[in-house]
């Protein structure tokens, strides 16, 4: 079973079908950039699943950071 990571469009450009390991790492370590890259993937590249997963991970990380910082006070 070979999972396909991307499809090649008629223009020759790659469109990722799912989120990659690099996308997950960026969203976890730099959540703001995860949101920006996810938004750009959804709007301009048509990579809806990849972009939404990146934004969801980034929002979850930001929520946890804000929640933990408010609990510690």
What does the pLDDT look like over 2-42, one tens digit per residue? Answer: 577 888 889 888 888 888 899 999 999 999 999 999 999 99
Query: Based on C-alpha coordinates, what's the Rg of the chain?
Result: 15
Q: Is the dihedral of CA 34, 41, 11, 1 positive or negative?
A: positive
Higher pLDDT, 17 or 64: 64
Asked whether residue 38 is domain-assigned, the answer is: yes
User: How far is residue 73's CA from residue 26's CA, in Å, rounded to a whole number?
Assistant: 28
pTM: 0.82
Judged against a pLDDT cut of 80, whether residue 68 lies above it is answered with yes
Which domain range does residue 55 map to? 6-71
- The number of domains in the chain is 1
Asked whether residue 65 is domain-assigned, the answer is: yes
pLDDT of residue 2: 57
Asked whether residue 39 is domain-assigned, the answer is: yes
Judged against a pLDDT cut of 70, whether residue 1 lies above it is answered with no
pLDDT of residue 46: 87
């Amino acid at each position: 079973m070979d999972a396909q990571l991307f499809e090649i469009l008629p223009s020759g450009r790659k469109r990722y079908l799912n989120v990659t390991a690099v996308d997950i790492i960026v969203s976890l370590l730099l959540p703001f950039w995860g949101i920006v890259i996810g938004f750009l993937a959804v709007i301009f590249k048509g990579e809806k699943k990849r972009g939404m997963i990146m934004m969801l991970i980034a929002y979850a990380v930001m929520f946890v950071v804000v929640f933990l910082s408010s609990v510690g006070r």
